[in-house]
Structure 1
């Protein structure tokens, strides 16, 4: 509840600033923004302001899709809730793709291959110990670890 209130106040403050209102109290949570003076230009200004404040990529049609401060707050809340998970998954996928493009010889020459392989070993990940695996098998183990596990292991926090 407190988080929603803060988001609503953020929306109202940003909208009031764009319209030049003295106070965000002039914006009723359920009143349509276009009724109080928003047009296409000010809608883009509000979108840009909220993008900066939240770190989200927001569409230029934002206030037309979510016409009241309350609807806009709910949309931002949902984006912020889902965005963190999506960003982590996206970053992990990007890192996996990048790692997959690096030839094994370059990883070995950079001194990274052995570190990655040691991170992928089951005992490093707190899993049951298995016999030593081939490089290909160990690379498959790395592929099975999530980015958080890899980072924690690289930082020397095997229990995380």
Structure 2
């Protein structure tokens, strides 16, 4: 399964549309800041059921999108959040503690506009960087194989 991971598009829809068409993913995770862009992309490609979207700190008037969602794909438990609720610009202590306590396998977040990947205590932490800058991520997920890739348009 190929999962496209996006965050922080900040109304640069053309970037995420180009990225989507370049990668042709099975699923899409949008980790906030202009969740509207993620929703518009899901409508444009007519695959709303394959999108997982959370809102971020810049989604002021979005009263319908959640700030945190949990999903399970191929027996892996995901936390998807923008990251602002976990103070990820300061450090990763809060999000790591929450992830360990809740038993997540994969944590997806944005907010910092910096690409990041680390595996700690069997938990994968991934920030794709900012789509406003053409940055994004790919997660290749198959049975026990988990591979994260940072990319740029």
TM-score range, shorter chain: under 0.3
- Pick the structure with more strand per residue: 2
Structure with more contact order per residue of length (Cα contacts < 8 Å, sep ≥ 6): 2
TM-score after normalising by structure 2: 0.22
Q: TM-score, normalised by structure 1?
A: 0.22
Structure in which a larger fraction of residues adopt helix:
1
